[in-house]
Structure 1
Amino acid sequence: MKYQLILTLSKMMVTNHLKPKKMKKYYILLFALVGVLGFFTSCDEDGDQIVLSENVITPTISLPDLTLVRANGTDKLIFACTPVNPGFTASASYFLEACPAGNNFENVTQIYNGITCNDIELSVNQLNTILLDGFPEDQTSSVDFRIRCVLEADAGLGVDDLVYYSETVNGAATIFGLLRLDVLIDGKDPQKIKSPGSDGIYEGYVKFDAGDAFTLLDPDNAITYGAGTSGLAVDGTVITVADAGWYIFTANTNDLSYTMEAYNIGLVGDATPNGWNTPDTKMDYNSVDRTWEITADLTNGNFKFRLNDGWAWNLGGNGTADGSTDNYDDDNKTVQLSQGGKNIPVSDGAGNYTIKLNIAGSVATVVKN
C-alpha cells in the first residue's frame, strides 16, 4: 500500500506538468507521506489500516540513595532506566518527573529531559537544587518518580504523539537547603537569609519590629556575626533596627559587610482602609510559596500594589481601563500584572479577601473568603 501511494503521487506530478509552485506543494506532500509511512514501517497492517503493536514494553526506573548531603554535593547519582520499546522505530523524548507522594503528578518537578534514558546521571548538588523548587528544605519528603516517554509523530498529518509511562516508584528524599545565615532576634523565631551561589553572599527578606536587636548565625560553621566598628564582626554586638517592616537583607561574610533596604509591598486604593493615601495596607512575604500575601477586608472599589508607599514601583492589571472587569482572567480571580498597570476592581463585592502576589510571575490571585 505504501509504495502504491508514493507511485500514484509521483505519476500525478509527471502527467500534469505542474507549475513550480504547485510542484513544490506536491513534493512537500510526498516527503511528508514517506515520513509518516516510514514511522509505521515496523507496524502490522490490517487491510488498508495501520495497527500499532499492542506489546509495548514501557520504560522502567530505579532510584539511587536520595539522602542528599551538602558535603557530598559533587558525588554522582544515577537513576537507572530502560527506554520504551514500542515495536517500531520512532524518535522519542524522555522526561524524569517527580511529585509529592500521592499527588498523581498534578504538580510536577521535571528533573531530566532528553532523547535517551539509560542511566540518567546528576550530581547531588544538581538534584538537590531541582528538588528545592517543589519540596521543603532540610527535611525528608516522600516523593513519587516516573519516566514519561513521548514518541513523536507528525501532527500535521493527523497522527498524535504516543505517550508511555513507567511505573511510579516512591522514594524518601532528604533535601538540604541553600547555605544560610539565621537571623536571631531576641525572643522570636529565627528567620533565614540564603546564599544562592554558596559564595559567602547571603540575601533574603526579613521582617523586623521597631527596636528589634539581632545577630547572625552560620549554623554550618557555628560562627556568630554581629555589629563591628564598620559592618559585621565575628562575635560582634547586637544590631538594632529603628523602623518596623520588611527588609531586603544582604550579608557578605567575605568582606564582613551588610545592607538593609526597606521593602514593603502594600495595597493602595479606594477599596482599602486608607484609600489612595499612605500608609498602604501591608502584605507579608511567604518564603515557601515565594509570594506576598494578605487577608483583609475590602470595600467596593479599586486597588493596586506598590512598594514602600510610593509610585516609583507599582503593579496594576492588564485590562482595557481602570476598574474594568477584564483586568481579571476568565476565572474572575487571577490578575495578570504590569508596571503602572490599570486599577484593579474588587472582584466579588465588598468583603474579606485573600490576595497573593507573585512578583516574579507578574500575577496575583484575589479570592473572596
Structure 2
Amino acid sequence: MKTTNIPGALMLAASLFWSCSDDDNGPVMIPADAPVITAPTSGSSYILTEDNAAGQADRFVWNKANFNVPTQVNYSLQADIPGNDFQSSASLGQTTATQLAVSTEHLNNTALRLGLPAEEASEMEVRVTASVNAHTEPLISETILVSVTPYGSDGGGGSYLWVPGGYQAAGNYGGDWSPAEAPQLRSLPDSDTEFEGYIYFGTASEYKFTAAPEWGNGEYGDGGSGTLLLNDGENLSAPAGYYLFHVDTENLTYSLLDTQWAVIGDAIPGTGWESDVDMTYDATQKTWSIALDLQPGEMKFRANDDWDLDYGDDEGDGTAEKGGTNIMIEAGGSYTVVLDLSTPGAYTYTITAE
C-alpha cells in the first residue's frame, strides 16, 4: 500500500511556491513599440506672443507605447536644441495619457531656458519617452523638429524659475505649494541658466524649484550640499527669513542669503556712513520701508550691515542697481523710503517727502 507524507508534500509545495515568488515579480515586460508623435508634424512653426501666454500653443499627440503587458505607461514630452542628443533637455510635461496640451507661456519659457534667442526663429527637437518602472528600459519616440520664435519676458528677454512651497500663504504668495502663484526667480542678463530673486519665508518651510508654473514640467529637488537634482530629490528647506536666491540650472547648484535691509549714508543725520538704519519688511506690500528725517547728502541701501550687497541708482530713475551710484538727497525733511525687491531683475525704490 502506497502512503503519502501529507505534511512533507505541503512543505515541498510551499517551498516551490516561495522560490518561484522570489524570482518572479510579475509578468515580464518586454519593450516593443515606441510611441510615435502624430501631431504636430515635423516642420511646424510657432511664433509666440505674450498676449497669448495663457493660451494653448499646441496639443502634442502620440501613439500608445507597447510593453507587451497591460500596464500604466508614464510619458514625458521633452525638448532640446538640435544636435544636443537630449543631454540637457527641458520638460514640456508629463502625463499617463497619449496627448498633452502645452501653453504658450510654457513653450516660451522652455525655449528661453534652452538658450533660444527671443524674437528670433530657432529650431527645437521634441520627443516622447515612455516608461513603466525603473527596471524596464524606456521607449523613446523619433524626434520631430519644430521652429519656435519666443518672446522676451517683459520685453527684455529672460526666463524664470518658480519656487512653490509651504511658506507661500504666510508670505502672501497665494496658496501653499501652488506653482502658479509662487514667486519667481529670473535669469541674469548675461546667463540663461543662472537665476536670481528675493523671497520672504514668514515661517520655516520646505520648497522646490520648478521650470514652469505647474507641476510635472521639470522640478528641482535636494541633491545635498547645495546641489540640485532635476526631476528627483527630496524637498529643499529653509528657516524663516528674507532670502536672495541664486540658482544655476546648468551646474545644478543653488544658494540662499538671508538678508536684513537698511539705509546708510551722510544724508541720514547722526549716523552717516558709519552705521545702518534698519528698514521693516511688509509682507502685504512685499516691500522694505522706513520713515526718517534726511538731510542733503547721499545714501544707499545695504544688506546685513555689510558692503558685500548694496543697491544704488546709476541713472537716478528709481531703479535700484546692485553696487550702483549713491542716491542723492537734495533737500532735508521727513521722508518715507521704500525698497521693492519683489520683482526679480527689476528692483525699484521710492523716497517720498512727508
Specify the TM-score bucket, using the shorter chain as the normaliser: 0.3 to 0.5
Query: Which of 1 and 2 has higher RCO (CA within 8 Å, sep 6+)?
Result: 2
Q: Which has the larger radius of gyration?
A: 1
Q: Normalising by structure 2, report the TM-score.
A: 0.39
**TM-score with structure 1 length normalisation?**
0.38
